[in-house]
Amino acid sequence: MDDLFIPLEKDEYDKPYVSFNARTGKCELHGESFPEKTEEFYERLIKWIDRYIKETGGPIEFDFKLTYFNTSSSKRILQLMMKLRDYKRQGGKVTSRWSYHPEDVDLEEDIEDLKVISRLDLQMVPDEKMQYRGLDPDKRDG
């Protein structure tokens, strides 16, 4: 089974960085998510998770570090979270974290909503190093 890697492209700022490792089960989703073809983009990720579960039955360590996502992305992210939840309920080993800037209250509420709806055991991790659009640019450095 191959890894799934989608790097951040200079001209494609609307898609998140994706790194899913088939050997370790470590999955990372970083950046912002508002792709034009949301379903098509996330379908690749969901199919990879399905295949990983079926072929390896190995542990999954999922790190979300999305700083922004639109409504259509949230639906697909919720699908991903529910896949993780179902796998864990079936006996799979799953750990999941979502890092966010502690002052980004709107994002924190969105993450909490996804957590409640999906019923995924998601660790919410406040992290000062995460990007936060609400901060004055002069305050970001110090």
Q: Say what the pLDDT of residue 134 is.
A: 64
Q: What percentage of residues in the chain have a pLDDT greater than 90?
A: 87
Strand order in the sheet with 17-20: 4-6, 17-20, 26-33, 60-69, 94-100, 122-126
Dump pLDDT digits (tens) for 30-74.
999 999 999 999 999 999 999 999 999 999 999 999 999 999 999
pTM of the model: 0.90
If you average pLDDT over residues 85-112, what whole number do you get? 97
Amino acid identity at 13 = Y
Our measurement of the distance from residue 74's CA atom to the centroid of its chain's CA atoms, rounded to an integer in Å, reads 10
- The burial class, CB within 10 Å (0-12 / 13-18 / 19+), for 9 is exposed
**DSSP state letters, the chain:** ---EEEPPBTTBTTS-EEEE-TTT-EEEEEEEE--TTHHHHHHHHHHHHHHHHHHT---EEEEEEEEEE-HHHHHHHHHHHHHHHHHHHTT--EEEEEEE-TT-HHHHHHHHHHHHHHT--EEEEE-TTS--TTS-GGGTT-
Closest CA to 30 of 70, 68, 85, 82: 68
- Compare 11 and 14 and report the one with higher pLDDT: 14
Q: What is the token pair recorded at 60?
A: 């999954």
* Least confident window among 21-30, 65-74, 102-111, 128-137: 128-137
CB atoms within 10 A of CB 71: 8
Q: Find out if CATH 3.30.750 is the number for domain 4-139.
A: yes
Q: Say what the pLDDT of residue 136 is.
A: 46
| pLDDT of 84 strictly over 50 | yes
Tell me the average pLDDT of the chain.
92
